Amino acid sequence: MEHLRDGYYAAAVITYAQGMALLRKASPIYGNQLDPATVARIWRGGCIIRAVILETIQAAYERDSNLTDLLLDPSLNALVQIHLPALREVVRAGVDLGIPLPGMMAALAHFDAYRSERLPANLIMAQRDYFGAHGYERKDAQGIFHAHWSGQ
Protein backbone atom coordinates (compact mmCIF):
# COMPACT_ATOMS: atom_id res chain seq x y z
CA MET A 1 0.00 0.00 0.00
CA GLU A 2 2.90 2.34 0.75
CA HIS A 3 4.34 1.81 -2.75
CA LEU A 4 0.93 2.42 -4.27
CA ARG A 5 0.44 5.65 -2.31
CA ASP A 6 3.93 6.97 -3.06
CA GLY A 7 3.79 5.87 -6.69
CA TYR A 8 0.46 7.57 -7.17
CA TYR A 9 1.90 10.76 -5.65
CA ALA A 10 4.79 10.80 -8.14
CA ALA A 11 2.42 10.10 -11.03
CA ALA A 12 0.10 12.89 -9.90
CA VAL A 13 2.91 15.46 -9.74
CA ILE A 14 4.15 14.40 -13.19
CA THR A 15 0.60 14.58 -14.57
CA TYR A 16 0.09 18.05 -13.12
CA ALA A 17 3.38 19.08 -14.75
CA GLN A 18 2.11 17.83 -18.11
CA GLY A 19 -1.22 19.60 -17.72
CA MET A 20 0.26 22.90 -16.62
CA ALA A 21 2.76 22.77 -19.51
CA LEU A 22 -0.14 22.29 -21.92
CA LEU A 23 -2.04 25.20 -20.41
CA ARG A 24 1.08 27.36 -20.63
CA LYS A 25 1.53 26.51 -24.34
CA ALA A 26 -2.16 26.86 -25.21
CA SER A 27 -2.71 30.13 -23.36
CA PRO A 28 -1.14 32.48 -25.94
CA ILE A 29 -2.50 30.44 -28.87
CA TYR A 30 -6.07 30.89 -27.67
CA GLY A 31 -5.56 34.47 -26.48
CA ASN A 32 -5.80 33.62 -22.79
CA GLN A 33 -3.57 35.20 -20.21
CA LEU A 34 -3.51 32.21 -17.87
CA ASP A 35 -1.32 32.63 -14.83
CA PRO A 36 -0.30 29.14 -13.67
CA ALA A 37 -0.13 30.18 -10.00
CA THR A 38 -3.68 31.53 -10.21
CA VAL A 39 -4.87 28.37 -11.99
CA ALA A 40 -3.42 26.23 -9.18
CA ARG A 41 -5.04 28.47 -6.54
CA ILE A 42 -8.44 28.31 -8.25
CA TRP A 43 -8.23 24.54 -8.68
CA ARG A 44 -7.27 24.15 -5.01
CA GLY A 45 -10.38 26.06 -3.96
CA GLY A 46 -12.64 24.31 -6.47
CA CYS A 47 -15.22 21.66 -5.90
CA ILE A 48 -13.52 18.82 -7.81
CA ILE A 49 -9.76 19.30 -7.60
CA ARG A 50 -8.69 20.13 -4.06
CA ALA A 51 -5.36 18.35 -3.91
CA VAL A 52 -2.93 19.72 -1.35
CA ILE A 53 -0.13 19.43 -3.95
CA LEU A 54 -1.73 22.40 -5.72
CA GLU A 55 -0.40 24.63 -2.93
CA THR A 56 3.13 23.44 -3.74
CA ILE A 57 2.46 23.98 -7.45
CA GLN A 58 1.16 27.48 -6.81
CA ALA A 59 4.25 28.25 -4.71
CA ALA A 60 6.52 26.98 -7.51
CA TYR A 61 4.98 29.41 -10.00
CA GLU A 62 5.09 32.23 -7.45
CA ARG A 63 8.83 31.61 -7.02
CA ASP A 64 9.40 31.55 -10.78
CA SER A 65 6.64 32.96 -12.99
CA ASN A 66 8.62 31.89 -16.09
CA LEU A 67 8.85 28.25 -15.01
CA THR A 68 8.44 26.26 -18.24
CA ASP A 69 7.80 22.92 -16.54
CA LEU A 70 6.99 21.99 -12.96
CA LEU A 71 9.54 19.19 -13.12
CA LEU A 72 12.22 21.89 -13.29
CA ASP A 73 11.17 23.34 -9.93
CA PRO A 74 13.66 22.08 -7.32
CA SER A 75 11.06 21.29 -4.64
CA LEU A 76 8.68 19.46 -6.96
CA ASN A 77 11.53 17.64 -8.65
CA ALA A 78 12.77 16.50 -5.24
CA LEU A 79 9.29 15.19 -4.39
CA VAL A 80 9.16 13.23 -7.64
CA GLN A 81 12.66 11.83 -7.07
CA ILE A 82 11.69 10.64 -3.59
CA HIS A 83 8.56 8.86 -4.83
CA LEU A 84 9.86 7.71 -8.23
CA PRO A 85 11.13 4.28 -7.04
CA ALA A 86 7.64 3.48 -5.74
CA LEU A 87 6.09 4.52 -9.07
CA ARG A 88 8.50 2.25 -10.91
CA GLU A 89 7.66 -0.60 -8.51
CA VAL A 90 3.90 -0.17 -8.94
CA VAL A 91 4.20 -0.03 -12.74
CA ARG A 92 6.47 -3.08 -12.71
CA ALA A 93 3.97 -4.99 -10.54
CA GLY A 94 1.12 -3.96 -12.83
CA VAL A 95 2.99 -5.25 -15.87
CA ASP A 96 3.95 -8.49 -14.12
CA LEU A 97 0.35 -9.10 -13.01
CA GLY A 98 -1.28 -7.96 -16.25
CA ILE A 99 -3.02 -5.06 -14.54
CA PRO A 100 -3.43 -2.04 -16.82
CA LEU A 101 -2.24 1.18 -15.21
CA PRO A 102 -2.38 3.56 -18.18
CA GLY A 103 -2.18 6.80 -16.17
CA MET A 104 0.74 5.72 -14.04
CA MET A 105 2.54 4.13 -16.98
CA ALA A 106 2.07 7.25 -19.11
CA ALA A 107 3.31 9.49 -16.29
CA LEU A 108 6.42 7.37 -15.84
CA ALA A 109 7.05 7.28 -19.61
CA HIS A 110 6.65 11.07 -19.78
CA PHE A 111 9.11 11.57 -16.95
CA ASP A 112 11.68 9.24 -18.47
CA ALA A 113 11.30 10.85 -21.90
CA TYR A 114 11.49 14.36 -20.46
CA ARG A 115 14.78 13.72 -18.72
CA SER A 116 16.40 11.81 -21.62
CA GLU A 117 18.95 13.57 -23.77
CA ARG A 118 18.35 11.17 -26.67
CA LEU A 119 15.24 9.15 -27.35
CA PRO A 120 14.81 6.03 -29.51
CA ALA A 121 13.34 7.93 -32.45
CA ASN A 122 15.68 6.02 -34.74
CA LEU A 123 13.26 3.08 -34.75
CA ILE A 124 10.41 5.35 -35.84
CA MET A 125 12.60 6.87 -38.56
CA ALA A 126 13.55 3.38 -39.76
CA GLN A 127 9.90 2.32 -39.92
CA ARG A 128 8.96 5.46 -41.84
CA ASP A 129 11.83 4.86 -44.25
CA TYR A 130 10.89 1.20 -44.76
CA PHE A 131 7.19 1.85 -45.38
CA GLY A 132 7.38 5.21 -47.13
CA ALA A 133 10.99 5.94 -48.09
CA HIS A 134 10.95 9.04 -45.87
CA GLY A 135 14.64 8.75 -45.04
CA TYR A 136 16.35 9.02 -41.69
CA GLU A 137 19.03 11.09 -39.98
CA ARG A 138 22.20 9.76 -38.41
CA LYS A 139 24.27 10.92 -35.47
CA ASP A 140 27.57 10.35 -37.26
CA ALA A 141 26.83 12.18 -40.54
CA GLN A 142 24.87 15.17 -41.82
CA GLY A 143 21.95 14.74 -44.20
CA ILE A 144 18.99 12.49 -44.86
CA PHE A 145 19.69 8.85 -45.70
CA HIS A 146 17.61 6.06 -47.22
CA ALA A 147 18.27 2.35 -46.82
CA HIS A 148 17.64 -0.23 -49.51
CA TRP A 149 15.59 -2.61 -47.41
CA SER A 150 15.60 -6.29 -48.39
CA GLY A 151 12.44 -7.49 -50.04
CA GLN A 152 11.68 -4.20 -51.80
Per-residue model confidence (pLDDT) at position 122: 73
pLDDT at 118: 74
Instruction: Please report, in tens digits, the pLDDT of each residue of the chain (152 residues total).
Output: 999 999 999 999 999 999 999 999 999 999 998 999 999 999 888 877 778 899 999 999 999 989 999 999 999 999 999 999 999 999 999 999 999 999 999 999 999 988 887 777 777 888 888 888 888 888 888 988 888 887 64
- Cα angle 128, 129, 130 (rounded to 5 degrees) comes to 95
Asked whether residue 33 falls in the same domain as residue 53, the answer is yes
| Exposed e or buried b per residue across 108-135, where buried means at least 16 C-beta atoms within 10 angstroms of its C-beta | bebbeeeeeeeeeeeeebeeebeeeeee
Q: Are residues 107 and 74 in the same domain?
A: yes
pLDDT of residue 62: 95
- Same-domain check for residues 53 and 124: no
Tell whether 22 and 81 lie within a shared domain. yes
pLDDT for 31 equals: 92
Whether residues 45 and 86 share a domain: the answer is: yes
Say whether both 145 and 104 belong to one domain: no
Same domain, 18 and 32: yes
Regarding whether 94 and 141 lie in a shared domain, the answer is: no
Per DSSP, 141 falls in state: S
Phi first, then psi, for residue 145 (nearest 5°) are -115, 155
Residue 146 pLDDT: 86
23-58: b or e for each residue (b if 16 or more CB lie within 10 Å)?
ebeeeeeeeeeeebbebbbebbeeeeeeeebbebbb
Distance from C-alpha of 72 to C-alpha of 55, rounded to nearest angstrom:
17
Same domain for 100 and 41, yes or no, is yes
Whether 90 and 23 share a structural domain = yes
Residue 136: name the closest of 120, 150, 152, 117 by CA. Answer: 120
Q: Which CATH number covers residue 144?
A: 1.20.5.320
CATH of the domain at 48: 1.10.1040.10
Q: Is the same domain home to 45 and 91?
A: yes
Number of domains into which the chain is organized: 2
Question: Do 129 and 80 reside in the same domain of the chain?
Answer: no
Structural domain boundaries, residue 124: 120-152
